[in-house]
Amino acid sequence: MRNKYGIGFFVITIIAMMLITGAYQLSFQKAKERAETKVTEEEQNAVAATPEPTVAADGQALKDDCYYLMEVNGYVVVYLSDKTTPYEYTNILYDELPASLRDEIRNGKYVEDASELYGFLENYSS
């Protein structure tokens, strides 16, 4: 008789564990669905708030990254694309440059990228 009660108690314990596990799985699935719905709504709100598509780029690769060479106090100075922020002060004397190059620098010589800039600096620095 004692053996019957032991088996019955064991079966009831197994059934209770299965019910608890099932209830946990249901609550977990509902919480997961609510979280996914919330994320989807946030993404839709973010898309609606963005008026135009954007493209991410590595580093500072922008078309605005250009330089201007200008004369300041008899020396050539490299400015950023805004023509007001000095990028580099050089020891290149303005008066020692060829006349055509001096005219370009007087008006602000456009240099498209860093490799072209360093090529110029390498050629004309002493």
pLDDT band at 57 (very low <50, low <70, confident <90, very high): very low
Answer yes or no: do 89 and 117 share one domain: yes
Answer yes or no: do 49 and 1 share one domain: yes
Does any domain span residue 61?
no
Answer yes or no: do 36 and 71 share one domain: no
The number of folded domains in the chain is 2
Confidence check: pLDDT of 53 > 50:
no
Does any domain span residue 79?
yes
Does any domain span residue 59?
no
Confidence check: pLDDT of 55 > 70:
no
Answer yes or no: do 22 and 49 share one domain: yes
Does any domain span residue 60?
no
pLDDT band at 50 (very low <50, low <70, confident <90, very high): low
CB 125 within 8 A of CB 76: no
Q: In sequence order, which residues have a C-beta less than 8 Å from that of residue 124 and are 6 or more positions away?
A: 76, 92, 97
For residue 50, what are the domain limits?
1-54
Instruction: Give 67-116 pLDDT, tens digit per residue.
Output: 999 999 999 999 988 888 888 888 889 999 999 999 999 989 999 888 89
Backbone dihedral angles phi then psi of residue 125, each to the nearest 5 degrees: -85, 150
Does any domain span residue 73?
yes
Answer yes or no: do 33 and 76 share one domain: no
